[in-house]
């Protein structure tokens, strides 16, 4: 019989003008089966559940295209450093101490924070991914998971074996909510011979590849000195872009790099807040979009952001492009919102996610509009990007299941998550606040 959501303003995200002031949405199983104006559903029809969403806005949940979920464990541990110093002196030493259960609880905390801020799908690259997958299954999110691999490390072969087994075990699990990718970390940690081994597995298992590319000037310089080309050209020549690729960052690009990324349909995860905090630079998003590249939005890990709030990220993305180009029309509100929803889903290769439309997965968030910062109601899209806060998200539905209702997360015990994370992060980084 399904679920009816009625009375909400409905932003389908198909076009800027596709806003129903008073809409009706039917969810059956995992899917949306109807979206229409008030009165479009027969009054005779009965439902298992009716959600009265008057005063709310219904829209697709956010898609976070790049994070390291369990890095919530290291939030606030190492701040105000450049990327390489941050990684080499602070993060990699403490990651050596990670136990599988740490990743479970760190990922649970990230899932909790994501649900409470309206994210319904995310792409993750980290270690101990069986535990990350268990957390995603329990929390109820949709995720594309990859075991991160440092090709230069002595454990690279083992990491690739783990990835192969992980993909076989988890791809399509949790009712299809979990998909998988291969996760070679970056061109500066994964040389071409290792990437060739990764591509063999990608071809065999028919999965995509999640990698950091062109994040800092230091990376551009290191790759130029070693190979005499840019990271994007190197990855293209290695053959990586013959596979579906999710490329995080893409900050330092020349015109040729932009052309390659657009032509090869590389999915780009733009992470403006992490790029600002690590002072990595400003990605040329407006030029990428003008060239026809596919760009979504990510937060990166909570140790370099320091949260996983996609509403904040969307606002930062829009403001940053305006100031970088000195053009207030750059990355207009609807384009920023598309990056955070429909285009993010395309970046992850999820073709039935990111729109409120029959046949799409029922990943829906309800935002409480009865608040001072949503008045006057000139333009709801602008309000969502420039005025909304994550605490305005009232209800979250993922894959047809209500996972948060009236700001109560239903899939986990919040206190237990806080307790476990506090205990484990103290052991890992040795601080007790
Ligand atoms: C091999 S698992 C992922 C690996 O990436 C590290 N990491 C986190 N944030 C970034 C970033 O912005 N650039 C490069 N690498 C990053 C994380 O700590 C893990 O070691
Ligand atoms: Zn990252």
Q: What is the domain partition of the chain in residue ranges?
A: 3-60+353-409, 62-347
Partners of 365 in beta bridges: 59, 396
pLDDT tens, 404-420?
A: 999 999 999 999 999 99
pLDDT at 222 over 80: yes
Mean pLDDT of the chain: 97
215 is in an annotated binding site: yes
pLDDT tens, 317-341?
A: 999 999 999 999 999 999 999 999 9
pLDDT at 433 over 50: no
pLDDT at 101 over 60: yes
Mean pLDDT over 34-62 rounds to 98
Quote the ligand 1 centre to 362 CA distance (angstroms). Answer: 31
What CATH architecture applies to the domain 62-347?
Alpha-Beta Barrel (3.20)
What fold is seen in the domain 3-60+353-409?
Urease, subunit C; domain 1 (2.30.40)
Atom of ligand 1 nearest to the CA of 71: 18
pLDDT at 430 over 90: no
Q: Which pLDDT does position 39 carry in this prediction?
A: 97
Q: Which pLDDT does position 432 carry in this prediction?
A: 47
pLDDT at 431 over 80: no
Q: Are 287 and 258 in contact (CB under 8 A)?
A: yes
pLDDT at 295 over 80: yes
What does pTM read for this prediction?
0.98
| CA dihedral sign, ordered 349, 341, 241, 167 | negative
Beta strands in 42-184 (DSSP E): 49-52, 56-60, 62-67, 119-126, 142-149, 178-184
Percent share of the chain, pLDDT over 90: 98
Quote the ligand 2 centre to 125 CA distance (angstroms). Answer: 7
Give, rounded to a whole angstrom, the gap between the first and last alpha carbons of the chain: 50
- As given in the structure block, the two tokens for residue 285 are 């998003």
Q: Which of 87, 124, 213, 283 for mutating ligand 1's site (highest number of atoms within 8 Å of CB)?
A: 87
Task: Determine whether the shortest distance from the Cβ of 124 to ligand 1 is under 6 A.
Answer: no
How far apart are the C-alpha atoms of 88 and 65, rounded to whole Å? Answer: 24
> Which residues place a Cβ less than 5 A from the ion ligand 2?
300
pLDDT tens, 114-167?
A: 999 999 999 999 999 999 999 999 999 999 999 999 999 999 999 999 999 999
β-pairing verdict for 267-270 and 294-297: parallel
On the 0-12 / 13-18 / 19+ scale of CB atoms within 10 A, 232 is buried
How far apart are the C-alpha atoms of 340 and 313, rounded to whole Å? Answer: 9
Fold match between 3-60+353-409 and 62-347? no
């Amino acid at each position: 019989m399904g679920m009816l959501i009625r009375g909400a303003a409905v932003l389908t995200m198909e076009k800027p003008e596709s806003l129903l002031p008073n809409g009706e949405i039917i969810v059956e199983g995992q899917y949306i089966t109807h979206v229409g104006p008030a009165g479009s559903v027969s009054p005779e029809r009965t439902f298992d559940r009716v959600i009265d969403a008057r005063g709310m806005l219904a829209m697709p949940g956010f898609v976070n295209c790049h994070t390291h979920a369990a890095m919530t464990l290291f939030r606030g541990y190492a701040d105000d450093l450049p990327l390489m110093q941050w990684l080499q002196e602070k993060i990699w030493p403490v990651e050596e101490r990670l136990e599988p259960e740490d990743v479970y609880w760190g990922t649970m905390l990230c899932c909790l924070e994501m649900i409470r801020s309206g994210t319904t799908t995310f792409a993750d690259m980290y270690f101990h991914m069986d535990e990350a997958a268990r957390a995603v299954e329990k929390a109820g999110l949709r995720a594309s998971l990859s075991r991160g691999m440092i090709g230069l490390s002595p454990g690279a072969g083992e990491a690739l074996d783990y990835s192969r087994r992980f993909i076989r075990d988890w791809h399509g699990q949790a009712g299809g909510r979990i998909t998988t990718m291969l996760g070679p970390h970056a061109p500066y940690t994964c040389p071409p011979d290792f990437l060739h081994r990764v591509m063999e597995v990608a071809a065999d298992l028919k999965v995509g590849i999640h990698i950091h590319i062109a994040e800092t000037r230091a990376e551009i310089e290191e790759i130029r000195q070693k190979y005499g080309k840019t990271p994007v050209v190197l990855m293209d020549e290695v053959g990586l872009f013959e596979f579906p690729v999710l490329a995080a960052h893409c900050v330092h690009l020349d015109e040729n790099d932009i052309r390659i990324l657009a032509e090869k349909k590389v999915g780009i995860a733009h992470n403006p807040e992490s790029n600002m905090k690590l002072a990595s630079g400003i990605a040329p998003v407006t030029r990428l979009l003008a060239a026809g590249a596919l760009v979504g939005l990510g937060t990166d890990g909570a140790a370099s952001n320091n949260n996983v709030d996609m509403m904040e990220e969307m606002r930062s993305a829009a403001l940053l492009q305006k100031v970088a180009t000195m053009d207030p029309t750059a990355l207009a509100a609807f384009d920023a919102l598309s990056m955070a929803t429909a285009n993010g889903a395309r970046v992850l290769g999820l073709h039935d996610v990111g729109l409120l439309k029959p046949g799409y997965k029922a990943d829906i968030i309800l935002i409480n509009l009865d608040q001072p910062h949503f008045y006057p109601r000139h333009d709801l899209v602008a309000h969502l990007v420039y005025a909304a806060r994550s605490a305005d998200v009232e209800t979250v539905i993922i894959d047809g299941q209500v996972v948060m209702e009236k700001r109560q997360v239903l899939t986990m015990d919040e206190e237990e998550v806080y307790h476990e994370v506090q205990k484990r992060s103290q052991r890992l980084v040795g601080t007790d606040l």
